[in-house]
Chains A and B, each alone.
Chain A
């Protein structure tokens, strides 16, 4: 899932304080699961904004709404009423959701209330960790399903940097060394010989360069 976290209430207030009627709009998908932008967080953030505005003497009205998914045009209709009756929208969707809203509701200011952080999973209660950097040319099959691009601090593709200490990364001692995990996993599944193969330079062209990446499926176009 996409993992995000909220900006501080004062940062949010600075973004929206020029408006009179604001709707805080949540998204019921990824950001609900990572406890950053679902209905509950909408309620908390809207309350906090109303209180902060009042303490600063700002005439800000803040309403609350949450739709099922902000990054999909099909679901954006659900936000129509809330958007229409407000001067501006503070979206608690991920970066994609905020932009989808802004494209759909032209002429209405739409602001992002979260810092979208990464694609990751819940590792334990209250702890999310990055697992994929959407590099566009996945190499997981060569590394026992453990992504060195994301989980090795130096993105090493041909073995460890030799700096790990007690199985932990030398860059961040709180995290396991990705290469330790890769070795362990390949051993478990009987594929240690993968490590003897020299990996050619990775193709970074489909990665974050050259502007907005798109995927076009002719078989689905109309």
Chain B
């Protein structure tokens, strides 16, 4: 079946202080996770704006994972809480336009949580695989033209 062979492309925004380090740790510990994620390191998930998530999905990502510190443990106090609200807002917009909201997910991972990170990635890949390819890609990703 197509859904079984489909290899989703998932963009993972990982906070430098936690999830990114836990991905590093997973490497040192030789913990395997699916190669479907493309990790982008961010100084804090609070730096991420709704538009980044929208552009990722618009340009063909099948899923977006936002991984920040544990709640209460953000290096910048509440960046991860801001990110959570923006992820929720993005999910609302996806519902409005008729795209599955589960294509984006926020998770909280500490720098020591290499195994949970790998499990989270595996779970996200499974979720997106079930949803199938991002339908936006069907006619080729768009080329936004910008003035000013």
Contacts and interface: CB of A to CB of B under 8 A. Distances in A.
B136 A64 contact: no
A127 interface: no
B148 A65 contact: yes
Nearest to A86: B147
A166 interface: no
Given A23-B147, A50-B144, A65-B148, A44 B97 contact: no
A51 B50 contact: no
Interface stretch (B8-16, B17-25, B54-62, B121-129): B54-62
B49 A55 contact: no
Contacts of A9: 93, 96-97
A55 B95 CA distance: 12
A67 B147 CA distance: 10
A46 interface: yes
Contacts of B51: 40, 43-44, 47
A48 interface: yes
B144 A44 contact: no
Contacts, number: 69
Given A52-B97, A52-B98, A47 B58 contact: yes
Size range of the interface on A? 20 to 34
A82 B55 CA distance: 21
Q: Specify the main secondary structure of chain B where it touches its partner.
A: helix
Contact of B142 (A8, A44, A50, A66): A50
Interface residues of B, number: 22
Nearest to A83: B147
Given A48-B96, A52-B98, A82 B148 contact: yes
B97 A51 contact: yes
A78 interface: yes
Given A51-B136, A61-B145, A8 B58 contact: no
B59 to A, nearest CB: 9
Contact of B97 (A23, A40, A55, A82): A55
Contacts of B58: 47, 50-51
B135 A55 contact: yes
Interface of A: 8-10, 23, 40, 43-44, 46-48, 50-52, 54-55, 61-67, 78, 81-82, 85
Interface of B: 49-51, 54-55, 57-58, 93, 96-99, 135-136, 138-139, 142, 144-148
30 contacts: A9-B97, A10-B97, A40-B51, A44-B50, A44-B51, A44-B93, A47-B54, A48-B96, A50-B142, A50-B144, A51-B57, A51-B97, A51-B99, A51-B136, A52-B97, A54-B135, A55-B98, A55-B136, A61-B145, A63-B146, A63-B147, A64-B144, A65-B147, A67-B148, A78-B148, A81-B147, A81-B148, A82-B147, A82-B148, A85-B147
